[in-house]
Structure 1
């Protein structure tokens, strides 16, 4: 049999991604107001069930309520304490986790499909019968206070906090950062009230992903239908952004490094320009080969890392540049940032730079769709932002049709210094 040889001195042929097929999904009823989204993908018999609740920062009336309520869901029920609950799930190789986000909260169960009948009742019990024990709450408060104490010594944390409060407004829910008093004032009664309103009566939808049978979908539909979880009106405490435009300096005299964040309110994910703006941001500061990295890190040696981010929430987006620079080089670094902003507005992106970034972006995008749970994360974005099913397949064609001239026009539209906020934390 003739052996196949590979000439490793020749690079493999490059193929531009021209088409993307996003898998189909089903929408199944749980009850009259809530649905189960079902996305079947993968070959391993593992499933993930996400329950998405109206329980994020936009729902809380007191700072830290949303995060504490989410973290306390795993601390025991009227029948099982936290240790017994965790061990019962672990026996079947399963576990669940919770997270609180700006716009929602998510409780997630991972398990083998064959053990769903054993694990689903435990998962539902943890969500619907959480008792918020005082002892565990006190431990979480102490841990949170300790983490806060450490964070408040870090310039990048102080800068991030000040930036969001400056670019969005002091009372904006996306700019909610807990202080010592907020954590100390958290109590069981307020958490139970938040839990009853936003978990027991706040289920937005469920999302099932992985490799599973029709019987598994039916088990989940029945289990959630009998759980008593309901959907509420979706009313939030959201307010519009009220940016405090200009330069803001927070003095921290024991600092060697200065934390810098420069940015502004931007367009939502549903905007026609959003996907092209993501690509423009990638070229400017979104990956290791970006302009900010090449100039300020590689050429000037002013920082170990600098990047720009287009951060979309459900009801707003924020674009910003972030870095930490030695105090003696701080002003030079800031000057170079604004110089790069000016350059990308005034000059066309060279075709080689453009194509390198596009190829990288398409490759990283495809890697982000690898596996059923990554696909489920993308589907959640579609659901949450009321986007068309063609949103991701269209991404490839939009990117392939984009040219440097269009990106320059976007830079002059969105990368201007108008309405920009600059926050610096460090030594004077």
Structure 2
């Protein structure tokens, strides 16, 4: 009987001459992107449809601009989204669920200061049924009294829990610091505001704001695009309005300033949230900024992550990224750390921001970031849901499949010098503002000693 000796991973990865060299990366596999058929229907709804076979499913994304200036708007919008699928003139909640289940479908609703989105999927053959339910809730949702009362109580409880979370507190503080009183900051209503919402307010907002003009519906799946658009037109023919959907106004530009120390009594952790202006996808420098961000803190092998997690052990995770807002974009730099290392973590964060401007990314760093950026983009598009979500986001920004199709080549063509220029312009410590949330009695003295801090 032959004896088999199993080698460890370390033994496999080494030779007598040292670590076994990694094979070179092969060529990037392209993900073929389908053509997108587009049409604006008579009611003003813009429909994009793409044939992506593979599984007999279809993904649906409806985006309705849903801004509002009234103080009560966020609370009413949240309750509207929570009760949209709870009943219509001809279907109750159970009827809606059963009809969707019969075609392997589901729908979900979420809302933020910028838009209300209905998303879901179903069997491609069941698209007419899925569209029938969608059209019914858009035109005839009744927001039943009992359902509104039930969802209102649930929302109040959920919001009270969420508002006690450190990340929620930090996000609200950051939004106010960079955008002031602009409606974009009203991402989560208070429990008191939700408790005060009436059924009449929910129904009135539905009638006034959930409208087709300016809205976009994306369909991706094993469908014939022209036929799918015709099915949409038939289904939503009764969804009409004289007014367009409400677009969120452009928020004010970020003004570089001292960080604000936000006191959270008894907290054993601190949240560091820094932000600076960034670039929209339209800008020819966007690909260079995307790679500069990855080198700094955009993925696990980034400089900042190596410093504050791998080397110093201050945090489990540190991340930087580009966030898109109406008419622009912002950089976000965030991490959560224990109170006793808040000042050191902030010092290292500022150090890394300065280092990427003074010590530009190397060719090896840029190549690694480029491989990650192209690979993660292609992976995200290699399924119907990922493509549908991306097309919906791009459409809201005035871009389409052609931009997406060309972006891997843009990333491949960016030079090391261009990445260095983007790093110098957008990651300079003097470009940032932000907040530090924690127990000021514990972290305040050391954080203030670093300078550039205001607050209690």
Task: Provide the residue aligned with 1:97 in structure 2.
Answer: 108
Residues 108/253 of structure 1: CA separation in 2 closer, same or farther (3 Å cut): closer
Find the aligned partners of 1:257 and 1:189 in 2 and give their Cα distance: 42
8 Å CA contact retained: 2:31, 2:381? no
Cα deviation for residue 60 of structure 1 reads 8.3
Match of 1:401 among 413, 416, 435: 413
Task: Provide the residue aligned with 2:268 in structure 1.
Answer: 256
Residues 243/11 of structure 1: CA separation in 2 closer, same or farther (3 Å cut): closer
Residues 332/319 of structure 1: CA separation in 2 closer, same or farther (3 Å cut): same
Task: Provide the residue aligned with 1:352 in structure 2.
Answer: 364
Name the SS for the 1:288 alignment partner.
coil
Find the aligned partners of 1:165 and 1:24 in 2 and give their Cα distance: 41
Say whether residues 1:142 and 2:177 are aligned partners: no
Task: Provide the residue aligned with 1:192 in structure 2.
Answer: 203
Cα deviation for residue 307 of structure 1 reads 0.9
Task: Provide the residue aligned with 1:154 in structure 2.
Answer: 165
Match of 2:222 among 211, 226, 229: 211
Say whether residues 1:420 and 2:417 are aligned partners: no
Cα deviation for residue 242 of structure 1 reads 6.1
Say whether residues 1:222 and 2:234 are aligned partners: yes
Cα deviation for residue 260 of structure 1 reads 1.2
Any idea what the Cα deviations from partners look like across 1:313-345, whole Å, max 9, x if unmatched? 233322121111111111000000000001000
8 Å CA contact retained: 1:113, 1:216? no
Match of 1:381 among 390, 393, 398: 393
Task: Provide the residue aligned with 2:279 in structure 1.
Answer: 267
Task: Provide the residue aligned with 2:57 in structure 1.
Answer: 46
Cα deviation for residue 11 of structure 1 reads 6.1
Task: Provide the residue aligned with 2:321 in structure 1.
Answer: 309
Structure 2: 5+ residue runs without aligned partners? 1-11, 14-19, 441-456
Name the SS for the 1:64 alignment partner.
helix
Name the SS for the 2:360 alignment partner.
coil
Any idea what the Cα deviations from partners look like across 1:374-418, whole Å, max 9, x if unmatched? 222222233211125431233222212222221121122111233
Structure 1: 5+ residue runs without aligned partners? 1-6
Cα deviation for residue 215 of structure 1 reads 4.0
Residues 242/63 of structure 1: CA separation in 2 closer, same or farther (3 Å cut): farther
Task: Provide the residue aligned with 2:142 in structure 1.
Answer: 131
Name the SS for the 1:387 alignment partner.
coil
Worse-matched range after superposition: 328-337 or 247-256: 247-256
Cα deviation for residue 185 of structure 1 reads 2.2
Q: Give the TM-score of the pair, scaled to structure 1.
A: 0.90
Worse-matched range after superposition: 144-153 or 249-258: 144-153
Task: Provide the residue aligned with 1:4 in structure 2.
Answer: none
Find the aligned partners of 1:216 and 1:334 in 2 and give their Cα distance: 52
Cα deviation for residue 295 of structure 1 reads 0.3
Name the SS for the 1:49 alignment partner.
strand
Match of 2:178 among 160, 167, 171: 167
Say whether residues 1:241 and 2:265 are aligned partners: no
Residues 419/290 of structure 1: CA separation in 2 closer, same or farther (3 Å cut): closer
Cα deviation for residue 51 of structure 1 reads 2.6
Match of 2:404 among 380, 392, 395: 392
Residues 306/13 of structure 1: CA separation in 2 closer, same or farther (3 Å cut): closer
Find the aligned partners of 1:46 and 1:379 in 2 and give their Cα distance: 17
Any idea what the Cα deviations from partners look like across 1:217-245, whole Å, max 9, x if unmatched? 43222222x23334733454525326573
8 Å CA contact retained: 1:256, 1:327? yes
Residues 242/184 of structure 1: CA separation in 2 closer, same or farther (3 Å cut): farther
Name the SS for the 2:110 alignment partner.
strand
Task: Provide the residue aligned with 2:132 in structure 1.
Answer: 121
Name the SS for the 2:306 alignment partner.
helix
Residues 311/197 of structure 1: CA separation in 2 closer, same or farther (3 Å cut): same
Say whether residues 1:14 and 2:2 are aligned partners: no
Residues 175/309 of structure 1: CA separation in 2 closer, same or farther (3 Å cut): farther
The number of residue pairs the alignment matches comes to 421
Find the aligned partners of 1:388 and 1:127 in 2 and give their Cα distance: 26
Match of 1:30 among 41, 48, 69: 41
8 Å CA contact retained: 2:291, 2:366? no
Cα deviation for residue 66 of structure 1 reads 2.6
8 Å CA contact retained: 1:36, 1:206? yes
Find the aligned partners of 2:220 and 2:261 in 1 and give their Cα distance: 46
Match of 1:299 among 307, 311, 314: 311
